[in-house]
């Protein structure tokens, strides 16, 4: 497979000139979804903005349909599915721009959004990352920010997302952002060496927000920019691998961000909880004499998770192994 499907003429700038924004869209499968996303980005972009889609080895005709409809969009192709973080990095580092916008392939950007991001960054020189209000296809608000995980939430003694938690109602600093639509100045992104590619699909957005604030920059939430987001479409057909990937990513996050004494407690506790949940699911299945379909499904998910953990997560069952 070629490294680049298509390089649009406007993706090239004369030496010494920068784009304003590089809009980076990681993608894998789903032609109708990506066509709507790119159409909205083109309506929001100006002549000095660059749009690049990074395709993670799609198995359908979404890329060819995209190029037929929007030949001005640059498309970079990965020979295998390298995950969200790696795709974002490839798109971001492939050309120069003052700002970056990372956008899910199932998110629809409103007109004027890039102008509003630029205006905010100009007025807030310490802003290192900016997120937006996320709205589902049904019109319901989705959570777009959250408190950072800590020792107590990971012990199960405090809810990670407090009951009744709501995103701020006006522009405000937050701890972490959901990565469906986040903007950054390129200088901040490069100072952090980009997304951590060890995270394949989960926790990479929390990790990036924590590194932004840890480097002395501010993480902001802007509710006046509303992005329509079809949440969860990417993993509906791979629920078991996604479940294992979520567990692997959480263990990786704990190992990276928590002090040693907390890791010594939390990592074994996380693994023990998998065993206890597996036992509970099996007992629940036995209580129904194996006749309840939901109980059978739950027991199967936990049993596979337990075996995966016991074998030190070596079997290639999670999402990262399916590329």
Which has the higher per-residue pLDDT, 65 or 95? 65
CA-wise closest residue to 155 among 249, 258, 245, 242 = 258
What is the average pLDDT across 70-92?
94
Q: Does residue 183 share a domain with residue 35?
A: yes
- Lowest-confidence region among 45-59, 112-126, 297-311: 297-311
Whether the Cβ atoms of residue 56 and residue 76 lie closer than 8 Å to each other: no
Tell me: the pLDDT tens digits for 177-211?
999 999 999 999 999 999 999 998 889 999 999 99
Confidence of residue 84 (pLDDT cuts 50, 70, 90): very high
Tell me: the pLDDT tens digits for 145-179?
999 999 998 888 888 888 889 999 999 999 999 99
Q: Does residue 209 share a domain with residue 249?
A: no
- Give the sign of the dihedral formed by CA 69, CA 75, CA 83, CA 58: positive
Q: Does residue 253 share a domain with residue 193?
A: no
What does the pLDDT read at residue 318? 58
CATH number at residue 145: 3.90.550.10
Q: pTM above the 0.85 mark?
A: yes
Q: Does residue 192 share a domain with residue 100?
A: yes
Domain closes at, from 235, 269, 285: 235
Q: Does residue 158 share a domain with residue 293?
A: no
Report the phi/psi class of residue 153: left, alpha or beta, with left for phi > 0 and alpha for psi in -120 to 50.
alpha
- For 170, the domain range is 4-235
Tell me if residue 237 falls in helix, strand or coil.
Answer: coil
| Helix ranges (DSSP H) in 129-178 | 151-154
Task: Report the domain count for the chain.
Answer: 2
Domain closes at, from 192, 218, 235: 235
Residue 1 has pLDDT above 50, yes or no: no
> Which residues partner with 142 through β-bridges?
134
d(CA 54, CA 88): 7
CA-wise closest residue to 22 among 77, 94, 124 = 94
């Amino acid at each position: 497979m070629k490294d680049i499907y298509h390089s649009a003429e406007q993706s090239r700038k004369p030496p010494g000139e920068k784009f304003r924004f590089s809009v980076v869209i990681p993608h894998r499968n789903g032609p109708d979804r990506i066509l709507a996303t790119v159409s909205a980005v083109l309506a929001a972009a100006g002549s000095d903005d660059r749009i690049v889609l990074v395709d993670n080895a799609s198995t359908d005709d979404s890329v060819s349909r995209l190029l037929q409809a929007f030949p001005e969009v640059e498309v970079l192709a990965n020979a295998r599915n390298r995950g969200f973080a790696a795709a974002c990095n490839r798109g971001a580092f492939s050309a120069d721009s003052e700002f970056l916008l990372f956008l899910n392939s199932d998110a629809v950007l409103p007109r004027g959004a890039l102008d509003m991001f630029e205006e905010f960054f100009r007025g807030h020189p310490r802003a290192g990352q900016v997120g937006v209000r996320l709205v589902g296809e049904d019109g319901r608000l989705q959570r777009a920010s959250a408190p950072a995980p800590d020792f107590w939430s990971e012990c199960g003694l405090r809810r990670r997302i407090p009951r009744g938690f709501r995103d701020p109602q006006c522009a405000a600093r937050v701890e972490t952002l959901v990565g469906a639509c986040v903007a950054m100045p390129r200088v901040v992104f490069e100072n952090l060496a980009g997304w951590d590619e060890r995270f394949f699909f989960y926790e990479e957005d929390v990790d990036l927000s924590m590194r932004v604030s840890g480097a002395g920059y501010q993480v902001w939430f802007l509710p006046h920019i509303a992005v329509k987001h079809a949440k969860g479409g990417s993993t509906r057909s791979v629920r078991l691998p996604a479940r294992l990937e979520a567990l692997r990513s959480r263990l990786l996050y704990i190992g990276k961000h928590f002090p040693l004494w907390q890791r010594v407690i939390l990592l074994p506790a996380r693994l023990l909880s998998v065993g206890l949940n597996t036992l509970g699911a099996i007992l629940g299945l036995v209580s129904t004499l194996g006749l309840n379909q939901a109980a059978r499904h739950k027991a199967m998910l936990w049993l596979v998770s337990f075996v995966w953990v016991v074998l030190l997560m070596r079997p290639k069952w999670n999402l990262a192994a399916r590329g």
